[in-house]
Amino acid sequence: MNGIESLLRNHLKGFTPYSTARDDFKGDRGIFLDANENALGSVITEKWNRYPDPLQNHLKQALGKIKAIDPECIFIGNGSDEPIDLLIRAFCEPGIDEVLIFPPTYGMYKVAAKINNVSVKEVSLTSDFQLDMIQIKSAINHRIKLIFICSPNNPTGNLIKLRDVLELARVFKGIIVIDEAYIDFTESNSWIEAIPKFPHLVVLQTLSKAWGLASLRLGIAFCNRHLTDILNMIKSPYNISGLTQNQVLIALKQEDRMRSFVGEIKELKRELQSALQQIPIILKIYPSDANFFLVKFKDAKNVFHHLIKNGVILRDRSGLVLCEDCLRITVGTSFENKQLIIALNNYLK
Ligand SMILES: Cc1ncc(COP(=O)(O)O)c(C=O)c1O
């Protein structure tokens, strides 16, 4: 048994997963009478009558080239929310094990844990939104099987210090998940490079942000082969639709376009932040390495409702620890950002 398998929930050790109708024959051509599909076609012109590749092999080849990683170390999920849920289901015994998170952070870690009846231990970030290493080390115990680190962190927008993540990866023996949903907006290297050294590391990325493909629902977990085997074993058989697989294969050829979006969004962010600096009800604009940033207002709740009445929707984060009176602003188009500024100026009148 490898180190990762020893962390797996007991009832999943030696588990036989569902075998799909396409497991016994790998080619594209053949007379497929094995999956109870409609052989005559689809009710629409496009042909979607066949089940998609359950392991998304073409996509993994393409992603492997872009990310310089063995396709066997790639798990593809229906958004990165899918691997978040699967990791909890694989490693945390409901009612016994725990996950460790660092609020304020992305809400789905807690939600996914709660849905699975897994307790969540929380150690707040420090006032500069970094890991509180002393508190974290004293919080770690044998029941904690998974740690979620979000970098750049949502909703605060900052990267987590490399030195602290490294230290945690050395001291913690369970699974460490580094959520890099916003990594494409940063100058920082991905933690993917560290996977060969740390077999218990999972790096999450998504095509929902810089690639502009949120509606297609495609998230990725990069990790050691033993971990991708486990995720593949417990996922639902055809978790990524054929439509998504086709479209993403086309999209992955447009990496340059993604990079130019990122450049444009960064420029729009600078413009928006300098316009916001002129608005007196804004107390602080937090630095951010992502396509959003946190802003502290004089009276965030009232501002939030005023903006909604004016058709501008921000994310109210004022209820979160360390985020009192804060709203999270996603960088929009030049027009959208101007509408936000106009609506904020109207608040003062
Ligand atoms: C930090 C973080 N991780 C993961 C996700 C989920 O992304 P996906 O669309 O891939 O499910 C989000 C979405 O906002 C996010 O902010």
**How confident is the model over 289-328, as pLDDT tens digits?**
999 999 999 999 999 999 999 999 999 999 999 999 999 9
Q: What is the pLDDT of residue 32?
A: 92
Ligand 1: does its nearest atom lie under 6 Å from the Cβ of 79? yes
Q: What is the pLDDT of residue 25?
A: 76
Q: Please give the distance, rounded to the nearest whole angstrom, from the Cα atom of residue 80 to the centre of ligand 1.
A: 6
Residue given tokens 């497991």 in the structure block: 23
Q: What is the DSSP letter of 205?
A: E
Atom of ligand 1 nearest to the CA of 105: 1
Ligand 1: does its nearest atom lie under 6 Å from the Cβ of 80? yes
Q: Please give the distance, rounded to the nearest whole angstrom, from the Cα atom of residue 227 to the centre of ligand 1.
A: 20
Atom of ligand 1 nearest to the CA of 206: 10
Query: Could you give phi then psi for residue 11, rounded to 5 degrees?
Result: -70, -10
Q: Please give the distance, rounded to the nearest whole angstrom, from the Cα atom of residue 183 to the centre of ligand 1.
A: 12
Which residues have CB under 8 Å from 345's CB, separation 6+? 279
Which residues have CB under 8 Å from 77's CB, separation 6+? 83, 86, 218, 219, 220, 221, 231, 235, 239, 240
Which residues have CB under 8 Å from 40's CB, separation 6+? 49
Closest CA to 286 of 320, 260, 313: 320
Residue 252 CA to residue 211 CA, distance in Å, equals: 9
Low-confidence ranges of the chain (pLDDT < 70): 1
Please name the amino acid found at residue 333. Answer: T
Q: Please give the distance, rounded to the nearest whole angstrom, from the Cα atom of residue 206 to the centre of ligand 1.
A: 7
Angle at Cα 173 formed by Cα 169 and Cα 179, nearest 5°?
45
Q: Which residues, listed in sequence order, are joined to residue 296 by a DSSP beta bridge?
A: 284, 326
Atom of ligand 1 nearest to the CA of 78: 11
Helices (H) and strands (E) in the chain, counts: 11, 11
Contact 258, 274 (CB under 8 A): no
Q: Please give the distance, rounded to the nearest whole angstrom, from the Cα atom of residue 180 to the centre of ligand 1.
A: 9
Q: What is the pLDDT of residue 1?
A: 60
Mutate to test the pocket of ligand 1, among 208, 217, 248 (most ligand atoms within 8 A of CB): 208
Query: Could you give phi then psi for residue 329, rounded to 5 degrees?
Result: -110, 120
pTM: 0.97
Q: What is the pLDDT of residue 20?
A: 85
Q: What is the pLDDT of residue 120?
A: 98
Q: What is the pLDDT of residue 28?
A: 76
Query: Could you give phi then psi for residue 120, rounded to 5 degrees?
Result: -115, 125
